[in-house]
Structure 1
Amino acid sequence: MKTITFAIPCYNSAEYMDKCIESILACRDEQDDLEIIIVDDGSFKDDTPAKADQWAADYPTTIRAIHQENGGHGQAVNTGLANATGLYFKVVDSDDWLDKDALQQVINYARTQVEVSDPTDLIIANYVYEKVYEGTSTTIRYTNVFPQGREFGWDDIKRFNPSQYLLMHSVMYRTQVLRDSGIKLPAHTFYVDNIFVYVPLPYVGTIYYLDVDMYRYFIGREDQSVNESIMYKRRDQQVLITRVMIDSVDVDAVESKKLRKYMLSYLSMMMCICTVFLRMKRTKENTRELNSLWGYLRDARPDMYLPVRANILNLGMNLPTELGRRIGLGGYHVAQKIFKFN
């Protein structure tokens, strides 16, 4: 068994995938206990398939290249998980990279769990928004939320600030936890990382946090899924992902009160994002879709509806009238500047 499997979904990624792969290989040593699975998701515009094969040929005990018909980011993650042999599973997008010193510390801890009878379920580290073209970066850390230097459970956590949601960038699940959760990400759909980080949480009993800035999240490409104009065009996919999250977890049945509170907050954030983009332009279609989404939450999870609707994020975003719409959108743009999320 490998210690960590790193899955790298690649779609026409030849321009930047090497940096991502090299950042992981920088921590490869004589133990050879790291696994990199390059999932070529039907690339056709560049030499991504050939590059993936060359990497696998150069590092046959570490790297595997898997080629599949285009299924989108979620299907690539599904493929990586299905083929993973590591105790832990980490997704690294092909335009991102990992810091060597921080990654080494995470690897060192993961190695301590290989021989124990009950390994830690979830390892968390910080991530950094790298706005390369602006020359700026913003680090998201969790020192005010999680204990350090010991394994802990949900009842030991403190309050998350608005900018501190757990994202795919910050989590490394034990592979079996993901499989036990039955997670399967939808194909040909963006924003599936929200499902990935949300659905398995009730299956997590133990956590370990390292205050190291491991994941470097590149922001700046015009075609990036977090570009605001692209997010508006894909607002239907935000709605789809949010509906999947509503269906997948009955948050009211989650045993830990603190985890339940966090998951309600995360779902509130997703509902807020959907509301923002469905109110960004006044159309009958957007209004109908917005009312349908809130009605879906009310009917599917009646116990969750009022807490989500009353969350401070959604109180502002759902104010009626044109003035309310402008106040909501203004709050969103302020949050963009503060948290640097796109």
Structure 2
Amino acid sequence: MKTISFAVPCYNSAAYMDKCIESLLACDEGKNDIEILIVDDGSTKDNTAEIADAWQEKYPGTIRAIHKPNGGHGSAVNTGLANAEGRYFKVVDSDDWLDKDAMHEVMAYLRRQMELAEPTDMVIGNYVYEKVHEGTRTVMGYKNVFPVGEEFGWDDTKHFHQSQYLLMHSVIYRTELLQDLGLKLPEHTFYVDNIFVFKPLPSVRTMYYLDVDMYRYFIGREDQSVNEKIMYARRDQQLRVTRIMIDAMNDAEIESKKLERYMLNYLSMMMCICSIFLRMEKTDENEENRAAIWEYLKQKNPELYKRVKNTALNWGTNIPTEAGRQFGLAAYHIAQKIFKFN
């Protein structure tokens, strides 16, 4: 068994996928214990498919090129997970990369887990917002939340800051945990990474945090899904993802109060984003959709609805009247500048 499977969803990624793959190959360190699954998600506008095949031909025991019809990022992640043979599973987007020095420490820990009957469920590292065109970077770490250098559970965690969440970039799951859960992300939908780091959490019993800047998250392309204009255009997909997260929290057996609080805050953030983007343009359709997502939460779980609705995030962004709408948008843009998330 390989130590880790890296899934690289690719869609017309020819311009930047090589840098990503090279950073993953560096994780092998001569051990021949990683696999890289390049998932070509029906690319048609460039030679992504040919590049994937060339990588497989060059590293036949390490890299597999998987070609599939276009189904979106979630579909590509699903395909990667279905084909993963490593003990651990990590998604690395094709325009991002992993830090070599940080991964040396991460891989050393993962390799030690190969010797254990009960390996750690989730391994966590820092991620870095790389705004290449601005020449700036923002490190997002968890030293204030997690013990460093020891295995722990949810009850051992401390308080997350308001802007601090586990993202797809920061987590490495035990593959079997995700496969046993039957995790399936929706197709033709953006923002499914939120489901990836939300729905599995109640199944995670053990964690290990390394305070290293593992994942480099590129921000700056005009066509990127976190671009504000694109997020507004895809607000229907944001609503779809949020409904799935509401269902996940409603259905899950969450044993730890600390995990429950974290998931509540994460869901509150998602509801806040929905509200903000549905108020960017004042239309009847947007107002109807905003009312509908809140009603969906209320019908699914009235108690959860009250708790989410009364958080500071959602009280501020849902103040009625035009003044309230402007307040919510202003708060969003201030957060944008402080946290540099898009």
Per the TM superposition, whether the score is higher than 0.5 is yes
The Cα shift of 1:181 comes to 2.0
Equivalent-residue separation in structure 2 for 1:337 and 1:253 (angstroms): 37
What is the aligned partner in structure 1 of residue 178 from structure 2?
A: 178
Q: Is the 8 A contact 1:251 1:264 kept in 2?
A: no
Structure 2 residue matching 1:123: 3-state secondary structure? strand
The Cα shift of 1:294 comes to 0.1
The Cα shift of 1:302 comes to 1.6
Q: Which amino acid aligns with 2:291?
A: N
Residue 51 in 1 paired to residue 41 in 2?
A: no
Q: Is the 8 A contact 1:3 1:110 kept in 2?
A: yes
Unaligned runs of 5+ in 1: none
Structure 1 residue matching 2:322: 3-state secondary structure? helix
Q: Is the 8 A contact 2:2 2:85 kept in 1?
A: yes
The Cα shift of 1:180 comes to 2.1
The Cα shift of 1:301 comes to 1.6
Deviations along 1:133-152, whole A, 9 cap, x unmatched?
00000000000000011100
Aligned residues: 342
Q: Is the 8 A contact 1:252 1:260 kept in 2?
A: no
Q: Is the 8 A contact 1:251 1:304 kept in 2?
A: no
Q: Is the 8 A contact 2:249 2:263 kept in 1?
A: no
C-alpha distance 263-251 of structure 1, shift in aligned 2 (>3 A): farther
Q: Which amino acid aligns with 2:184?
A: K
Deviations along 1:75-119, whole A, 9 cap, x unmatched?
000000000001110000000000000011111100111120110
What is the aligned partner in structure 1 of residue 242 from structure 2?
A: 242
Residues 99-138 of structure 1: pairs in structure 2 closer than 5 A: 99-138=99-138
Structure 2 residue matching 1:145: 3-state secondary structure? coil
What is the aligned partner in structure 1 of residue 67 from structure 2?
A: 67
Residues 155-304 of structure 1: pairs in structure 2 closer than 5 A: 155-250=155-250, 253-304=253-304
Residue 98 in 1 paired to residue 89 in 2?
A: no
The Cα shift of 1:27 comes to 2.4
Equivalent-residue separation in structure 2 for 1:227 and 1:283 (angstroms): 21
Q: Which amino acid aligns with 2:332?
A: Y
What is the aligned partner in structure 1 of residue 27 from structure 2?
A: 27
TM-score normalised by structure 2 residue count: 0.99
Equivalent-residue separation in structure 2 for 1:47 and 1:327 (angstroms): 46
Equivalent-residue separation in structure 2 for 1:251 and 1:66 (angstroms): 33
Deviations along 1:158-213, whole A, 9 cap, x unmatched?
00012210000000010111112221001100000000110000000000000000
Equivalent-residue separation in structure 2 for 1:123 and 1:288 (angstroms): 41
Q: Is the 8 A contact 1:140 1:163 kept in 2?
A: no
The Cα shift of 1:252 comes to 7.6
Structure 1 residue matching 2:31: 3-state secondary structure? coil
Deviations along 1:255-285, whole A, 9 cap, x unmatched?
1000000000000000000000001111000
Equivalent-residue separation in structure 2 for 1:252 and 1:75 (angstroms): 23
Structure 1 vs Structure 2: percent identity of aligned residues?
67
The Cα shift of 1:29 comes to 2.9
Equivalent-residue separation in structure 2 for 1:66 and 1:20 (angstroms): 16
Q: Is the 8 A contact 1:9 1:39 kept in 2?
A: yes
Structure 1 residue matching 2:3: 3-state secondary structure? strand
Residues 305-320 of structure 1: pairs in structure 2 closer than 5 A: 305-320=305-320
Query: For structure 1, which segment, 159-168 or 174-183, has the greater mean C-alpha deviation from structure 2 after superposition?
Result: 174-183
Query: For structure 1, which segment, 221-230 or 176-185, has the greater mean C-alpha deviation from structure 2 after superposition?
Result: 176-185
Structure 1 residue matching 2:133: 3-state secondary structure? coil
Structure 2 residue matching 1:298: 3-state secondary structure? helix
Q: Is the 8 A contact 2:224 2:230 kept in 1?
A: yes
Q: Which amino acid aligns with 1:80?
A: G
Equivalent-residue separation in structure 1 for 2:178 and 2:168 (angstroms): 13
Equivalent-residue separation in structure 2 for 1:27 and 1:122 (angstroms): 18
Equivalent-residue separation in structure 1 for 2:111 and 2:62 (angstroms): 16
What is the aligned partner in structure 1 of residue 325 from structure 2?
A: 325
C-alpha distance 44-252 of structure 1, shift in aligned 2 (>3 A): closer
Q: Is the 8 A contact 2:14 2:48 kept in 1?
A: yes
Structure 1 residue matching 2:197: 3-state secondary structure? helix
The Cα shift of 1:219 comes to 0.3
Q: Is the 8 A contact 2:202 2:253 kept in 1?
A: no
Deviations along 1:41-83, whole A, 9 cap, x unmatched?
0001111000000000100110000000000000000000000
The Cα shift of 1:251 comes to 7.0
Q: Is the 8 A contact 1:27 1:100 kept in 2?
A: yes
Structure 1 residue matching 2:6: 3-state secondary structure? strand
